[in-house]
Every structure is written in C-alpha cells, then in structure tokens.
C-alpha cells in the first residue's frame, strides 16, 4: 500500500492484524515446545538434557512476545 494513502485507521488495522498473526505463531510455538518436552520427557529448561530445539523455540517465542508488546504499545499510543 502506498504510504500517502495510509490513514491512522488503516495503520491501526494493519497493526491489529499483525498482532493477531503473531499471537497465532506464539500459540503454535507453545504447542511445539510442549511436544518436544513430551517427546524427550524433560520439561525443565534448566536441565542439561532439555531439548535443544525447545530452547530455540522458547527464544523465538520470547522474541515474538517482545514484538507483540512493542506493537501493542504502539497501537495504544495511536
């Protein structure tokens, strides 16, 4: 979309859509993390045998949650 046609309401709608999409991704990551923990039988991330893929998924989830907070903050200020 050309920036000259973007109104505050259009930007807010785009931000809300992005927030919803990211929330769905976080939900998917939560399921994937739980599956990895169940598969290995370890759910405590402090243990050395905790699945490495689950650690990576947790880091990704935390990044997305940080992005969500920023987007929600931006939406609240508009």
Domain presence at residue 1: no
User: What would the two tokens of residue 4 be?
Assistant: 């000259």
Domain presence at residue 20: yes
- Per residue in 9-39, pLDDT (tens digit) is 899 999 999 999 999 999 999 999 999 999 9
Domain housing 35: 7-77
pLDDT given for residue 76 in this prediction: 86
Domain presence at residue 24: yes
Domain presence at residue 45: yes
| pLDDT of 1 strictly over 60 | no
SS (H, E, C) 18-46: HHHHHHHHHHHHHHHHHHHHHHHCCCCCC
Number of domains in the chain: 1
Cα separation, 48 vs 17, whole angstroms: 38
User: What would the two tokens of residue 40 be?
Assistant: 């290995």
| pLDDT of 5 strictly over 60 | yes
Do residues 33 and 57 lie in contact, with contact meaning Cβ atoms separated by under 8 Å? Answer: yes
pLDDT tier at 61, thresholds 50, 70, 90:
very high
pLDDT tier at 78, thresholds 50, 70, 90:
low
pTM given for the model = 0.84
Domain presence at residue 66: yes
Domain presence at residue 15: yes
Domain presence at residue 19: yes
């Amino acid at each position: 979309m050309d920036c000259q046609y973007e109104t505050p309401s259009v930007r807010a709608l785009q931000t809300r859509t992005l927030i919803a999409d990211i929330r769905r991704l976080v939900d998917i990551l939560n399921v994937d993390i739980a599956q990895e923990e169940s598969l290995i039988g370890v759910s405590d991330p402090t243990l050395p045998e905790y699945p490495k893929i689950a650690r990576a998924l947790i880091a990704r989830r935390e990044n997305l949650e940080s992005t969500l907070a920023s987007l929600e903050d931006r939406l609240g200020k508009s």
